[in-house]
Amino acid sequence: MAKTNNLQSVTSLYSKYIIETSKGRRLQKNGKIVNPSTINTYKALLMNLEKFEQLSGKAFLINLNYKYSKRCFDIEKRNYKKFYLNFTNFLYQKGCTDNYVGVLIKNLRSFFIYLNQAKGYSTGLFYKDFYIRKEEIPVNVLSMSQLKFLITDADFEASLPNHLHTTKDIFVFGCTVGLRFSDLLVLKKKNLNIIDSKYYIVNRSMKTATDTRVKLPDFAIDILLKYKTKSTYLLPIMSLNQFNKNLKAIGLLAGWTNAIGKERSKRGVLKELKNNGKTFRFCDLMSSHMMRRTAITTLLNNGMPEPLVRKISGHKPGSKEFYKYVQYAETFLDNETDRVFNKVMAMA
């Protein structure tokens, strides 16, 4: 039986873990500080742990000085299994999907590794039985014709109110340079290099700390010149929520209302999600994520070699995230090949 002073609640220990990470006392394996977006996922896990603890009426206690015996092993294994099942049940009942639950459980496993390796506690390896579910989310991107429409259709642009006009410009620029929204809106004049009348965006990703350098086409340069002010930022500042809301309105006005649906898995079972009881349309799923995905797939679909696209996108070689864009592009090229040869056979 564990001594009382060896037992501490997961919420109290995880709170300390977040504090140490936020203050830079806990670093990544490469010695870099943990970025704020990752810390936000830690806080989301803590919030869910606290809510789960509140609803269940008791805390999950971690034995910090676990010593093996058959009896203790059986007890601890049951406790961890029960906690995992009850906690994940709680998350799924809230409506969480496999990917979100997987992120939280992955963070929880990392926390136990930290307790054992960095703090010197002996909790046992029961956390390794915490299964991490993951699903492949479909890649939703603009087609080349849709992107061209936003770039070139003067009548549509003139019909937009100012706030949607600005959002469209930011979106088109993002679909060109392939930056994440968090990187795009903090671009400053120092990120713009002009060499021999050629414009380049040079940036270091906030998330991955990778450097990118992208040559701008004329339409992207025109967007920057349109918003050239005394501000140190290259583009207008806008909140992410407002940006995503505006994008959906733009998609609706553009007539992109074809039903495409939205499915997510829970415990490995696909379930269709509804938008106020209706099937999701293309415009409903437009968001800031579409910018980066559109930029990457557009480059791949037009024949740019993968290593060069990765250099622009900031993905590392072997990146699983990048590979799904390659798969999407290959599917697109396969469909185009079928279309061409079907046309040839029809002419025979």
Tens digits of residue pLDDT in 234-273:
999 999 999 999 999 999 999 999 999 888 888 888 888 8
Do 96 and 173 lie in one domain? The reply is no
Residue 319, pLDDT score: 65
In angstroms, rounded to a whole number, what is the distance separating the alpha carbons of residues 7 and 60?
Answer: 9
Do 117 and 241 lie in one domain? The reply is no
Please, which pLDDT band fits residue 124 given cuts at 50, 70 and 90? Answer: very high
User: At residue 289, what is the residue type?
Assistant: H
Do 279 and 163 lie in one domain? The reply is yes
Report the mean per-residue pLDDT for the chain.
Answer: 87
For the chain, the maximum distance between any two Cα atoms, rounded to a whole number of angstroms, is 84
**Does 126 have pLDDT greater than 80?**
yes
Do 73 and 167 lie in one domain? The reply is no
Residue 228, pLDDT score: 84
Residues 6+ apart with CB under 8 A from 235: 169, 170, 173, 184, 185, 187, 223, 224, 227
Do 75 and 180 lie in one domain? The reply is no
Decide which of 129, 160, 191 is a domain's last residue.
129
pLDDT digits over 184-240, tens only? 888 998 999 998 889 988 887 666 666 778 889 999 999 999 988 778 899 999 999
In angstroms, rounded to a whole number, what is the distance separating the alpha carbons of residues 228 and 236?
Answer: 10
Do 69 and 95 lie in one domain? The reply is yes
Q: Tell me the residue length of the chain.
A: 348
Q: Domain containing 91: what range?
A: 4-129
Residue with the bigger pLDDT between 276 and 15: it is: 15
Backbone dihedral region of 268: left (phi > 0), alpha (psi from -120 to 50 degrees) or beta?
Answer: left
**In-domain check, residue 119:** yes
Determine whether 28 is exposed, middle or buried from the number of CB atoms within 10 Å of its CB (0-12, 13-18, 19+): exposed
Residue 236, pLDDT score: 93
Do 9 and 104 lie in one domain? The reply is yes
Residue 323, pLDDT score: 60
For the whole model, what pTM was predicted? Answer: 0.73
Do 149 and 258 lie in one domain? The reply is yes
The count of structural domains within the chain is 2
Look up residue 47 and give its DSSP letter. H
Asked if residue 257 lies in contact with residue 283, where contact means CB atoms within 8 angstroms, the answer is yes
pLDDT digits over 33-60, tens only? 888 888 999 999 999 999 999 999 999 9
User: At residue 239, what is the residue type?
Assistant: S
Do 82 and 191 lie in one domain? The reply is no
Look up residue 32 and give its DSSP letter. P
| Distant-in-sequence contacts of 26-34, Cβ < 8 A, 24+ apart | 26/114, 26/118, 32/209
**In-domain check, residue 253:** yes
Q: What average pLDDT does the segment 86-105 reach?
A: 95
**In-domain check, residue 157:** yes
**In-domain check, residue 26:** yes
Do 107 and 149 lie in one domain? The reply is no
**Does 129 have pLDDT greater than 80?**
yes
**Does 328 have pLDDT greater than 70?**
no
Residue pointed to by tokens 């499915």: 263
Residue 138, pLDDT score: 75
**In-domain check, residue 324:** yes
Decide which of 67, 102, 129 is a domain's last residue.
129
Q: What percentage of the chain exceeds 70 in pLDDT?
A: 85
Please, which pLDDT band fits residue 6 given cuts at 50, 70 and 90? Answer: confident
Residue 330, pLDDT score: 57
Do 118 and 170 lie in one domain? The reply is no
Do 116 and 160 lie in one domain? The reply is no
Q: Which residues pair with 201 in a beta bridge?
A: 192, 214
Tokens of 207: 């998330």
Asked if residue 297 lies in contact with residue 303, where contact means CB atoms within 8 angstroms, the answer is no
Helix locations, 118-217, DSSP H: 144-152, 154-159, 162-177, 181-184
Decide which of 129, 164, 182 is a domain's last residue.
129
